[in-house]
Amino acid sequence: MNRSPSYDGLVFTISDLAREGSAKMSLMARDYLNGGSMDEQTSGDNCSAYARYRLRPRVMVDVTCIDLSTLCLSSRVSFPCGIAPAAGHGLAHPDAEEGTGRAAAGKEVAMCLSTWSNSSLEAVAASTAGRVPLAQQLSLVKDEDTNLQLIRRAEAAGYRALFVTVDCVYLGKRVNEQRNGFSYPGHLKWGNLPHFNPAGSLETAVGWMEYETKGGWETVRWLKGVTSMEVWLKGILTPEDAELAVEAGADGLIVSNHGGRQLDGVPATIDCLAAIVDAVAGRIPVHLDGGIRRGSDMFKALALGAQHVWIGRPAVWGLAYKGEEGVRLALNLLEEEFRIVMALMGCRRVGEIKREHLALMGSDGMYRTLESTGKAKM
Ligand SMILES: Cc1cc2nc3c(=O)[nH]c(=O)nc-3n(C[C@H](O)[C@H](O)[C@H](O)COP(=O)(O)O)c2cc1C
Ligand SMILES: CC(C)CC(=O)C(=O)O
């Protein structure tokens, strides 16, 4: 049976939410939150790539009972879509990440908080009242004490995992931000880094960041040694790096290109996924973010082997549109669409979604199952 979200007459899809949420933001905030880097090839492809994969439904299956729930960070969540870390929710709404946290708790989905959030990690943990698994995104900054303090605070507040971002050693060239002279409004704070002042360009923030790239994969081993939280890597795009991440002891991977905001020209995340899943071969969980705008996009990512997906911009659009209620609307829309796709695909549980449920368009315009294109072995 379909369970419809309470439509408000204006927003029926995430694309409607993008339009309505964006209309509520200043040009500077909108361009920052919505934009990608350089020519925005990757941020556009992240979304359009899903259409290259088509669905192969199985019929005559009894789908009267469908269970969308799954595990994320060892906890049961209502459906396999969580909220990705995005800096500066305060640009979208005064409730900032606490509004997002309340919506995540209400919907029983996982949330990952950005290092560069406006609400503090403690306030976000309180907003979810321990009802959902939380991860803390970690941007390693120059100062080791700052990193350690953030890790200790996240542990104390009950966060389960660190999502260490590995694709942001330099800030991608974001032309909109340069054109608009983007800077954080003075009234917003970095909730997790109270001694840093957010006012100023993003380059200033990244200047503090200056990742410990010289540590390379040893950084993962170091983090594993200093925290009891799981250590996940966010921003893996190749099977080679996936293999190194497993060898270094990572507890999980997020196939991500930072929403196309970092290196423009990398493939859509959905196109990178199968090869990484095959390389990891079940040793650790693989998740995906980037361009998820429909329940069918979620289904396709799960069919290619992701166990769970994350949304960045759709949550921010929801927050800009109506605060907590808007984020809940974003999640309701995706949940409703995912349920319909599951039913029409003949899947009763998330575990029944398989690669055989997809076909890929070849250069001759014909659709073939993934095995016959070799895509699964990319
Ligand atoms: C406004 C904005 C800020 C972001 N800030 C961060 C961040 O602080 N740390 C991080 O690891 N990723 C950050 N991301 C990337 C997201 O975590 C995620 O990878 C991306 O948004 C997924 O793509 P989607 O927006 O198409 O869902 C940000 C994304 C956006 C849109
Ligand atoms: C402060 C920034 C580095 C946050 C970020 O990751 C982004 O804007 O994509």
Q: How confident is the model at residue 208 (pLDDT cuts 50, 70, 90)?
A: low
pLDDT at 202 over 90: no
Q: Check whether 84 has a pLDDT greater than 80.
A: yes
Q: Whose CA is nearest to atom 9 of ligand 2?
A: 261
What is the C-alpha separation between 232 and 299, in angstroms, rounded? 23
Query: Does 90 reside within a domain?
Result: yes
What's the total number of domains in the chain? 1
Least confident of 93-97, 123-127, 374-378: 374-378
Question: Residue 76: is its pLDDT beyond 90?
Answer: yes
Q: Does the reported pTM lie above 0.90?
A: yes
- How high is the pLDDT of residue 170? 86
Q: Is the pLDDT of residue 366 over 90?
A: no
Please say whether the beta carbons of 142 and 209 come within 8 A: yes
pLDDT in tens, 232-264: 999 999 999 999 999 999 999 999 999 999 999
Decide if 371 is inside a domain. no
68 in a domain, yes or no?
yes
Q: Does 342 map to a domain?
A: yes
3 is in an annotated binding site: no
Catalytic site includes residue 308: no
Q: Which residue's structure tokens are 């309340």? A: 102
Q: Which of 93, 258, 308, 357 is catalytic?
A: 258
Ligand 2 atom 6: the closest Cα is on which residue?
A: 87
Asked if residue 367 belongs to a domain, the reply is no
Instruction: Report if residue 279 sits inside a domain.
Output: yes
301, part of any domain = yes
Q: What is the CATH number of the domain that holds 281?
A: 3.20.20.70
ipTM summary value: 0.99
Distance from C-alpha of 239 to C-alpha of 275, rounded to nearest angstrom: 6
With H, G, I as helix, E, B as strand and everything else as coil, classify residue 342: helix
Ligand 2 centroid from CA 11, angstroms: 28
Strands (E), the chain: 53-55, 70-72, 75-77, 81-83, 111-113, 134-138, 161-165, 230-236, 252-255, 286-289, 309-311, 358-361, 367-369
**What is the span of the domain harbouring residue 66?**
14-351
- From first CA to last CA, the distance across the chain in angstroms is 38
228 exposure class (CB count in 10 Å sphere: 0-12, 13-18, 19+): exposed
User: What confidence category does residue 60 fall into, taking pLDDT thresholds of 50, 70 and 90?
Assistant: very high
Q: Is 86 annotated as a binding residue?
A: yes
Position 226 in a domain: yes
Give the atom of ligand 1 at the shortest distance from the alpha carbon of 234: 11
256 Cα nearest atom in ligand 1: 19
| Mean pLDDT score, 160-185 | 92
Annotated binding residue 174: yes
